[in-house]
Amino acid sequence: MAKKKNRRGNSLKNGFSKLAVSLLLVAVSYIFANYIYPHFSGIETISEDGRMQVHFIDVGQGDATLIVTPNGKHILIDAGPGSGELDLMAYLKRYEVKSIELMILSHPHEDHIGGADRVLTSIKTEKVLVSPAPGTTDSFEKVLDAIDATGSAIEVAIPGAIYDIDGVVVHILAPAAADEENLNNDSIICRVDYGKAKMIFSGDAEKEAEVALLAAYGTKELDCDLFKLGHHGSYTSNTAEFLDTMTPKYAVACCGEGNEYGHPHSEVRKLLSERGIQLWRTDKDGSVVFLCNGLEFEYIKTE
């Protein structure tokens, strides 16, 4: 009888040991799949560790930036040209974007809004923010038609307005009024904050708009860690005074490979280099992705 009891006891011990090992393997697999693998693999899934994602999407000669909050909400700043809309839609599908809480269309030029109507009719979008620029382009008319068809809300950007999307806070800085002679200077300029980390997006705003912004705000409002270069890195924007006030650590130029404009211009690249600002460019690096923990940004190589 004693031997049978010992055998039963041994069997129970073995069973518990196997169960413990199995649970340990499950725990290790979970940690690897949700924390370690996304960090090193190009984050194909939404972050679950309190980090924001910022995707500067390669759509050719145009702008399109996807911001993903830690809980999987989405902000889309511009939607690239019509010629890049298939690439944009493929990218959004890859990252499983099924809804957009806020779409910001900086100004009504085709290389910034050409893909917006396709996005609107394909992905549920709650609100669209537009500049006060006169919206007379064919691309903008298509956007308005898509908004009417889908029932998305539309608002004109007003300086001082704040949009809090799941802890990612968008501050509208400009424009204060429409410039009918230069739609680039009608671009929405916004600062996006997550914790203490900050980004500035300025559409195609040129020197005149930058000067007005510097006059309206101080270093506190314009200081940032990451700057999406104005006007694809053109010398018509990105002045030394603007860069010196913002003091970004990183800059991104959204431009097409071999583009006819020569973006980003050598003058701007020189200014960045002199200030130790690290530059990424979609024509050379493809889509550029950063993670942010609320304190600092980390570049992630995804392709």
Domain boundaries, the chain: 1-41, 46-300
pLDDT-based confidence at residue 39 (cuts at 50, 70, 90): very low
What pLDDT band is residue 34 in, cutting at 50, 70 and 90?
very low
Predicted TM-score (pTM) of this structure? 0.84
265-272: average pLDDT: 98
Percent of the chain clearing pLDDT 70 (strictly above): 83
The answer to whether residue 287 scores a pLDDT higher than 50 is yes
Q: Rounded mean pLDDT of 6-25?
A: 45
Answer yes or no: is pLDDT of 189 > 50.
yes
**Ramachandran region of residue 262, left (φ > 0), alpha (ψ -120 to 50) or beta?**
left
Stretch 142-165: mean pLDDT? 97
Residue 37: its pLDDT value, please? 36
Return the structure tokens found at 93.
């599908």
Task: State the average pLDDT over residues 155-171.
Answer: 97
46-300 CATH pick, 3.60.15.10, 3.40.50.10860, 3.30.360.10, 3.30.2230.10: 3.60.15.10
Q: How confident is the model at residue 158 (pLDDT cuts 50, 70, 90)?
A: very high
* CA–CA distances in Å: residue 248 to residues 175, 199, 245, 297: 21, 8, 9, 11
Task: Between 282 and 29, name the one with better pLDDT.
Answer: 282
What's residue 303's pLDDT?
A: 58
The pLDDT tens digits of the residues spanning 96-123 come to 999 999 999 999 999 999 999 999 999 9
DSSP sequence for 200-261: EE-TT--HHHHHHHHHH--HHHH--SEEE-GGGG-TTS--HHHHHHH--SEEEE---TT-TT
| Mean of all residue pLDDT scores within the chain | 87
Rounded mean pLDDT, 127-142: 90
C-alpha closest to that of 64 among 200, 269, 277, 228? 228
Identify the residue with better confidence: 209 or 179.
Answer: 209
Q: Provide the CA 33 distance to its chain's centre, in angstroms.
A: 24
Neighbours of 195 (CB within 10 A): 15
Contact 138, 105 (CB under 8 A): no
Question: What pLDDT is recorded for position 4?
Answer: 44
Q: Can you give the pLDDT at residue 302?
A: 66
